[in-house]
């Protein structure tokens, strides 16, 4: 008898759960891939970001990297570029003081006025650890998508022609869109 | 998975020497090299770091190839993968 009184309660619960559930929507594709925010502009952190990006791409994951704030400097060309638009004094100063591209980044620790970075690079070469420039190149060869944050570019006065070719320029929606379609998201 | 004696009888269709690279180098080398291996052919990756013996099988499984096994040999490792796609 007790079983008979329990059963309707369970059935009722099932019905109300069914009513509460959202109506069926279009099946969304299973997200896959890796999306990253590269916020840091320090050699060690950016090396980690590109090691992960290259590994993911080698494992056939679609990878997109969103470069913002200090990270935008990774995308700068190695030598000064005369921009079509004149920079303000502050923008010019930012441009001169911030690193121009992968080869000019400094370590986040043991920096020792640049000496630490030089020693680390020497040790990397000695132990066959790929340098950042080479990792950036192989990420591009593997089809990793680079997105530069427009807001950061504006803030620091960086113009598109100062950045390497083949990148997309976007804002937060570009990152959210990439993150929403990926299964792994990392902030470096 | 194959045992070492059986593995050492395998004739690799392509051998990639990844001893001169550190992470993520061996994965990139393996990815590049497998394209030159015929379907169902065998790729051999030679590595001097032990981490690669963990990573190459994971790469193979993720990408859809068969990991056959690894032979340790004088401080190096020979890692065998059969191309499946």
- Which of B21, B30, B63 minimises the CB distance to A130? B21
Q: How confident is the model at residue A24 (pLDDT cuts 50, 70, 90)?
A: low
Q: Is the pLDDT of residue A113 over 80?
A: yes
pLDDT of residue B2: 83
Q: Which residue has the tokens 């638009």?
A: A85
Question: Which residues of chain A lie closer than 8 angstroms to B55, CB-CB?
Answer: 55
Q: With an 8 Å Cβ cutoff, are B63 and A51 in contact? A: no
Q: Report the percent of chain A where pLDDT is more than 90.
A: 79
Task: Report the catalytic residues of B.
Answer: 23
Q: Is the pLDDT of residue A18 over 60?
A: no
pLDDT of residue A26: 72
Question: Which residues of chain B lie closer than 8 angstroms to A51, CB-CB?
Answer: 23-24
Q: How many domains does chain B have?
A: 1
Q: What is the pLDDT of residues B17-73, one digit of tens each?
A: 999 889 999 999 999 999 999 999 999 999 999 999 999 999 999 999 999 999 999
The CA distance from A58 to the nearest CA of chain B, in Å, is 6
Q: How confident is the model at residue A3 (pLDDT cuts 50, 70, 90)?
A: very low
- Read off the CATH number of the domain in which B77 is found: 3.30.110.40
Q: Is the pLDDT of residue A27 over 50?
A: yes
Q: Is the pLDDT of residue A4 over 60?
A: no
The full set of domain ranges for chain A reads: 31-150
Whether A51 has its CB under 8 Å from any CB of chain B: the answer is: yes
| Nearest Cα residue to B45 out of B5, B79, B7, B84 | B79
Q: With an 8 Å Cβ cutoff, are B23 and A60 in contact? A: no
Q: What is the pLDDT of residues A147-157, one digit of tens each?
A: 999 999 999 99
Q: Is the pLDDT of residue A2 over 80?
A: no
Whether A123 has its CB under 8 Å from any CB of chain B: the answer is: no
pLDDT of residue A20: 54
Q: What is the CATH superfamily name and number for domain A31-150?
A: DsrEFH-like (3.40.1260.10)
pLDDT of residue B63: 95
Contacts 24+ apart (CB under 8 A), A15-22: none
Q: What is the pLDDT of residues A136-150, one digit of tens each?
A: 999 999 999 999 999
What average pLDDT does this structure show over A84-112? Answer: 94
Whether A96 has its CB under 8 Å from any CB of chain B: the answer is: no
Q: With an 8 Å Cβ cutoff, are B59 and A59 in contact? A: yes
Q: With an 8 Å Cβ cutoff, are B27 and A128 in contact? A: no
Whether A86 has its CB under 8 Å from any CB of chain B: the answer is: no
Q: What is the pLDDT of residues A115-135, one digit of tens each?
A: 999 999 999 999 999 999 999
- Three-class secondary structure assignment of chain B: CCCHHHHCCCCCCEEEECCCCCCCHHHHHHHHHHCCCCCCCEEEEEECCCHHHHHHHHHHHHHCCEEEEEEEECCEEEEEEECCC
- Whether residue B29 contacts residue B18, with contact meaning beta carbons closer than 8 Å, is answered with yes
């Amino acid at each position: 008898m007790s079983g008979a009184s329990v059963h309707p309660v369970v059935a009722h619960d099932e019905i109300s759960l069914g009513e509460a559930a959202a109506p069926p929507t279009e099946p969304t594709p299973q997200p896959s891939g890796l999306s990253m925010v590269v916020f840091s502009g320090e050699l060690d952190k950016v090396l980690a970001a590109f090691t992960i990006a290259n590994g993911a791409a080698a494992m056939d994951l679609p990878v997109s990297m969103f470069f913002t704030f200090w990270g935008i400097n990774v995308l700068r060309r190695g030598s000064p570029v005369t921009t079509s638009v004149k920079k303000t004094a502050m923008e010019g100063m930012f441009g001169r003081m911030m690193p121009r591209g992968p080869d000019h980044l400094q370590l986040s620790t043991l920096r020792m006025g640049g000496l630490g970075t030089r020693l680390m690079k020497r040790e990397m070469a000695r132990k066959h650890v790929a340098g950042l420039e080479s990792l950036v190149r192989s990420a591009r060869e593997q089809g990793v998508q680079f997105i530069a944050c427009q807001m950061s570019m504006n803030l620091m006065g960086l113009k598109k022609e100062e950045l390497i070719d083949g990148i997309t320029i976007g804002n937060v929606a570009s990152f959210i869109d990439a993150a929403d379609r990926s299964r792994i998201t990392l902030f470096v | 998975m194959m045992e070492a004696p059986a593995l050492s009888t395998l004739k690799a269709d392509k051998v990639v020497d990844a001893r001169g690279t550190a992470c993520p180098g061996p994965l990139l080398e393996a990815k590049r090299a497998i394209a030159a291996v015929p379907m169902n052919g065998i790729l051999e990756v030679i590595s001097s770091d032990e981490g690669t013996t963990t990573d190459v099988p994971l790469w193979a499984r993720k990408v859809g190839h068969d990991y056959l096994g690894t032979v340790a040999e004088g401080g190096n490792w020979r890692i065998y993968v059969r191309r499946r796609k």
